């Protein structure tokens, strides 16, 4: 696509300025207005090294590359800027042709399979509800994994289950006191939530329950059969519940090693830190001091001798590096845990492990409803599966209403299938459309708006484009469309702008990958949808004739390809009609 033209411009300019082409390419911009060209070089960026005024540089460069770039119709010097104007008809042909023939034209990939990227996400706590708060890490983590996979890396998706810790001591004590075996089999998570909430309420009046819980967890750590059997049952029942949600969201993990898996690897980590002289006692606990890095001490063992998150994470990182020799080890965990990860990575660095530099924390904000935040301890929790079902139910109402108004012959099964994809897409996109560190306040009206910055809008745009292809009978006629594009001459402003927006997906993707920020890609996919709908409004497609009609259908097909690939990276399915 025109990214090749941009490189060509950069090569010619770099030769005149005694620079590297990549360095020059970074200086080339897309102007804010089309009358300023399709690309521009702000020559003030060269003034320091060339020791000349920007207008002089622009004039000299314009003369130096005149006639060397047939892809351009004009090179214009305006003040300190050098503006480049594309041959629009040729550019549109090239863009459509590449999108329809090269599966990697929209999102270029590289052979990076020798570089393994680990992405740890979701990681729910066993025996606790899979609530809406888990949606952020689950959805964001899957999309970040998709981005690295699309770029060509070998990706391993890790679900570091919260299947260890003092909460299990609390659950064991609570189940012995108030557990209902029948309720546990019927609805395990709700029964475990009931006794967990009851434990915290009772513990306010009876502090000795906390001591009993600590003792029960210590027995579990020591492998006592009774405690271990209860723990295993809680874990197995919880995984059945979790997998139902994962299946619905189309999420699969490569590894489920949780905190319990690393428990027997912690003593070696503790011993290593002792031998390196990094462990000191502080208020009865064993810690690593990080004053030199302006960080609080990192607790390795609590005063009662039990392990803590940091010790388990240290063991996990060392195991993962030994197992996968990872290129990156990414943690998709809430922003409030940023200090924890800085401490863990700092301890590794202090201990001389270079894998610390290959670990990265990708944080995100809170999920809120108008009523406020959620708290598992008080039982005020919204189950993620219930939220997904509600999204689908609300979407189904809209689909049925639209089908009735348009007199569309759509079966109940098809309506249900569309509602499932659009409803789940709406929830997914709500977590991706803004910067990941921003808090999310849920609004059904906003999420399910078919005209806003939402998944339903993007899915509707795809359905609209695909519907035209279906009505024209060209869904499987790619070669026919390509021939028309080669012979035709699309040149309208909205046609050109749509191609530019499709082309911009690659840069947006690279930027999103670099920053682990899917919202950058989501915004550009939205820009493609807006550009298509403008093209749809301004340029007759099905009513056009001859090669013009077929060429515009080819542009609609290219849009479908781009939207489908982009939404797939965001873990959102397309629908062929709505």
Average pLDDT over residues 142-160: 98
Q: Which runs of consecutive H residues, i.e. helices, occur in 119-187?
A: 133-151, 166-178, 181-186
- The string of pLDDT tens digits covering residues 4-47 is 788 899 999 999 999 999 999 999 998 988 889 999 999 999 99
pLDDT recorded at residue 129: 80
Domains and CATH numbers, the chain: 2-86 (3.30.1360.70), 121-262+316-368 (3.40.50.620), 384-569 (1.10.730.10)
pLDDT recorded at residue 380: 62
pLDDT recorded at residue 428: 97
Q: Is the pLDDT score of 377 beyond 50? A: no
Confidence band, pLDDT 50/70/90 cuts, at residue 309: confident
pLDDT recorded at residue 382: 81
* Average model confidence (pLDDT) across the chain: 93
pLDDT recorded at residue 106: 96
- Residue % of the chain over a pLDDT of 90: 80
User: Which of 77-86 are b and which e, b meaning 16 or more Cβ less than 10 Å from the residue's Cβ?
Assistant: beebbbbbbb
Average pLDDT over residues 439-451: 89
Confidence band, pLDDT 50/70/90 cuts, at residue 221: confident
pLDDT recorded at residue 374: 45
Q: Are strands 285-288 and 279-282 parallel, antiparallel or unpaired?
A: antiparallel
Q: What is the DSSP string of 337-352?
A: GHHHHHHHHHHHHHTT
Q: Is the pLDDT score of 253 beyond 50? A: yes
Higher pLDDT, 28 or 370: 28
The order of strands in the sheet holding 279-282 is 279-282, 285-288, 298-301
Confidence band, pLDDT 50/70/90 cuts, at residue 406: confident
- The string of pLDDT tens digits covering residues 75-134 is 999 999 999 999 999 999 999 999 999 999 999 999 999 999 999 999 998 888 888 889
Number of C-beta neighbours around residue 343 at 10 A: 22
Q: Which of 162-171, 174-183, 358-367 has the lowest average pLDDT?
A: 162-171
Closest CA to 92 of 411, 491, 369: 491
Q: Is the pLDDT score of 372 beyond 60? A: no
- The string of pLDDT tens digits covering residues 336-350 is 999 999 999 999 999
CA-to-CA distance for 341 and 331, rounded, in angstroms? 9
pLDDT recorded at residue 375: 45
**Residue keyed to tokens 């749809």:** 536
CA-to-CA distance for 395 and 487, rounded, in angstroms? 43
pLDDT recorded at residue 376: 46
- The string of pLDDT tens digits covering residues 554-566 is 999 999 999 999 9
Q: What share of the chain is helix, strand, coil (3-state, %, to 5)?
A: 60, 10, 25
pLDDT recorded at residue 541: 96
Looking at residue 128, the DSSP 8-state letter turns out to be: S
Q: Is the pLDDT score of 2 beyond 60? A: no
């Amino acid at each position: 696509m025109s990214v090749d033209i941009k490189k060509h411009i950069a090569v010619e300019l770099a030769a005149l300025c005694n620079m590297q082409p990549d360095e020059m390419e970074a200086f080339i911009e897309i102007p804010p207005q089309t009358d300023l060209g399709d690309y521009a070089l702000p020559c003030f960026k060269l003034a320091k090294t060339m020791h000349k005024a920007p207008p002089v540089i622009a004039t000299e460069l314009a003369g130096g590359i005149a006639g060397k770039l047939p892809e351009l119709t004009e090179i214009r010097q305006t003040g300190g800027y050098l503006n480049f104007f594309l041959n629009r008809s040729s550019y549109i042909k090239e863009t459509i042709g590449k999108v329809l023939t090269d599966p990697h034209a929209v999102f270029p990939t590289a052979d990076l399979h020798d570089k393994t990227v680990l992405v740890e996400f979701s990681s729910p706590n066993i025996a606790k509800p899979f609530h809406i708060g888990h949606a952020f890490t689950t959805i964001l983590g899957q999309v970040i994994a998709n981005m690295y996979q699309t770029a060509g890396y070998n990706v391993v998706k890790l679900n570091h289950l919260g299947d260890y810790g003092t909460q299990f001591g609390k659950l064991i004590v609570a189940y012995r006191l108030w557990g209902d075996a029948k309720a546990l089999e019927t609805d395990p998570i709700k029964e475990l939530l009931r006794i967990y909430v009851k434990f915290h309420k009772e513990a306010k009046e009876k502090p000795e329950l906390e001591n009993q819980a600590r003792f029960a967890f210590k027995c579990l750590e020591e492998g006592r059969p009774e405690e271990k059997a209860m723990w295993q049952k809680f874990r197995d029942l919880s995984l059945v519940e979790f997998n139902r949600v994962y299946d619905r969201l189309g999420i699969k993990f490569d590894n489920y090693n949780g905190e319990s898996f690393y428990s027997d690897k912690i003593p070696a980590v503790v011993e290593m830190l002792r031998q390196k002289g990094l462990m000191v006692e502080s208020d009865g606990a064993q810690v690593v001091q990080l004053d030199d890095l302006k960080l609080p001490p990192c607790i390795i063992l609590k005063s009662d001798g039990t392990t803590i998150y940091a010790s388990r994470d240290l063991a996990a990182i060392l195991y993962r590096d030994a197992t996968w020799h990872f290129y990156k080890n990414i943690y998709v965990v809430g922003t409030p845990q940023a200090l924890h990860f800085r401490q863990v990575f700092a301890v590794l660095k202090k201990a001389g492990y270079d894998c610390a530099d290959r670990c990265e924390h990708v944080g995100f904000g809170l999920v809120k409803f108008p009523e406020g935040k959620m708290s598992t301890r008080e039982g005020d929790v919204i189950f993620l599966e219930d939220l997904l079902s509600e999204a689908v139910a609300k979407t189904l109402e809209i689909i049925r209403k639209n089908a009735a108004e348009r007199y569309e012959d759509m079966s109940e099964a098809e309506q249900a299938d569309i509602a499932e994809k659009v409803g789940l897409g709406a929830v997914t996109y709500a977590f991706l459309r803004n910067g990941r560190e921003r808090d999310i306040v849920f609004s059904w009206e906003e999420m399910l708006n078919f005209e806003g910055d939402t998944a339903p809008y993007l899915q509707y745009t795809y359905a609209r484009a695909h519907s035209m292809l279906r009505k024209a009978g060209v869904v499987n006629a790619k070669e026919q469309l390509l021939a028309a594009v080669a012979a035709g001459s699309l040149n309208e402003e909205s046609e050109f702008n749509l191609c530019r927006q499709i082309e911009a997906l690659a840069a947006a993707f690279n930027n999103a990958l670099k920053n682990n920020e899917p919202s950058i890609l989501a915004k550009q996919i939205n820009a493609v949808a807006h550009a298509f709908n403008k093209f749809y409004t301004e340029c007759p497609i099905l009513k056009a004739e001859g090669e013009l009609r077929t060429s515009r259908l080819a542009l609609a097909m290219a849009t479908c390809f781009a939207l489908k690939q982009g939404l797939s990276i965001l873990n959102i399915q397309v629908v062929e009609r709505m």
